[in-house]
Every structure is written in C-alpha cells, then in structure tokens.
Chains A and B, each alone.
Chain A
Amino acid sequence: DVKVTQSSRYLVKRTGEKVFLECVQDMDHENMFWYRQDPGLGLRLIYFSYDVKMKEKGDIPEGYSVSREKKERFSLILESASTNQTSMYLCASSPPGGGSIQYFGAGTRLSVL
C-alpha cells in the first residue's frame, strides 16, 4: 500500500512565524502535490512537483513556497504565517502518468493565531 505521511496532524502557530509542513511518500512516486481544504471552497492546489528540484505553481501559491530536495519528500513552507492560512493542508503523490490517481496523507490541520 502507498503510504503518504504528513509530519503533524495538528499544528498551532502565531502570525508571522515561518511554518514548515513535511510530507513523505514511500512509493517512489514522481509527482507530489500540496492542497488546502476549506469548508465551502473544496480542495485547492497550492503547488506541485513532477521531479526532484522541480516545482510548479497551482491555483493559490501566494504566501507559500515548496522544496523538493529528495524524491520522497515534499515540503510546504509558509514564509510568514497569517490567520487566513488557517486550514487543512493535504499532501498527495501519484505515479508518472497517473496524475489524477493521487494518494493522500491524513492532513495537517493548521491554526494560525
């Protein structure tokens, strides 16, 4: 079974802090994704990566950056956390050519106070 592990289930941070959300997958997948999920807004793509050191912006990249130094790890960085970044963050991975069959982690519920 594919396993996508997110480092934290719950996180509380203060406004202005730099926040790192880590995601690791164990199936050697090329593709990795970061989404946020908010009530009434559904799933929104922040960034994705098709290979090590490659990244592409999704629909809502502002205020976020990512890092993919190793194939199995994809990190989401909130440069200066703000209250409107309070959300559920979901990481996903998929094999090459299977971009729409994605395997998700359990999510990190981030609260920015």
Chain B
Amino acid sequence: DAKTTQPPSMDCAEGRAANLPCNHSTISGNEYVYWYRQIHSQGPQYIIHGLKNNETNEMASLIITEDRKSSTLILPHATLRDTAVYYCTGAGVGRSQGNLIFGKGTKLSVKP
C-alpha cells in the first residue's frame, strides 16, 4: 500500500477554495488515489478517487500529477461544515483491496 504524506493542518476562509496536498511517491501503477474525510465524532466519508486523470464530483475535484507522485484535493467553496480531517490513501480495486490505510491526514479548519 502506498504511504502518503500530508500536512498536519491547514486553515481556509469560508467561501474560499481549500487545496489539500498529498504526496504518494510510492504509489504503484495500478493503485488509485482515494480521498476520505472524517468529521469529528463521525465515521470516515468517501469523497473522490482517481487513477491518473483529474476527477470532479459534487463534493470536490482531484488533481493528480502526471508522474502520479502527488495529488491535490480541491474543495471549491469551503463551508464551516467542511471542517474535518482529510485523508488520502492509495488502494487497488476489486475484491482484495478493501483494506483502507489512513495516515494522520490533514486537519482542515474552515473559519468564518
């Protein structure tokens, strides 16, 4: 499983874009990059994943560098409810890859 490195904390003003970086230089060629978040006292919540193309859904955008050694999660208009710990991880697909391994993540604080 890919080891990831994320900054321990970040602040973002409400309404502004939050850009959360992740280094995953050991990710293997068939591993996807997944992002989850965990709001205080809740279980983790899936956000988005990608292999090598940029991805966007209703929650966020994911930008993966061409060499796949790093990625950035973008919350385009952060709200107070986006305050959470954000985790990136590498994982395969299919039956044998269900074991999510989270590092320490980035604690994002969205401030009014």
| Contact bitstring A73-84, B, C-beta under 8 A = 1, else 0 | 000000000000
Contacting residue for B99 out of A4, A59, A106, CB 8 A: A59
In the complex, whether B34 has a CB less than 8 A from a CB of chain A is: yes
Check if A99 sits within 8 Å of B44, measured CB to CB: no
Count A-B contacts at CB 8 Å: 68
Interface pair A106/B97, CB less than 8 Å apart: no
Contacts known (A99-B95, A100-B34); A42 close to B43, Cβ less than 8 A: no
Decide if B42 touches A43 in the complex (CB within 8 Å).
no
Give the contact stretch, choosing among A13-21, A63-71, A90-98. Answer: A90-98
Q: Which of A33, A97, A100, A104 is close to B91, meaning CB atoms less than 8 Å apart?
A: A100
CA distance A43 to B46 in the complex (A): 14
Asked if residues A33 and B98 are in contact (CB atoms below 8 Å), the reply is: yes
Interface residues on B, range: 20 to 34
Between B99, B101, B104, the greatest number of chain A beta carbons within 10 A of the residue's beta carbon is seen for B99
In the complex the two chains form, is A100's CB within 8 Å of B98's CB?
A: yes
Find chain B residues with CB under 8 A from A42 CB. Answer: 101-104
- A31 CB-CB contact with B under 8 Å: yes
Query: Given A31, A58, A90, A98, which contacts B43 in the complex, CB threshold below 8 Å?
Result: A90
Binding site for B on A (CB under 8 A): 4, 31, 33, 35, 40, 42-43, 45, 48, 50, 58-59, 90, 92, 94, 96-107
**Which 8 A-B residue pairings sit nearest by Cβ, starting from the closest?**
A104-B43, A99-B98, A100-B91, A42-B102, A45-B99, A43-B102, A104-B44, A99-B97
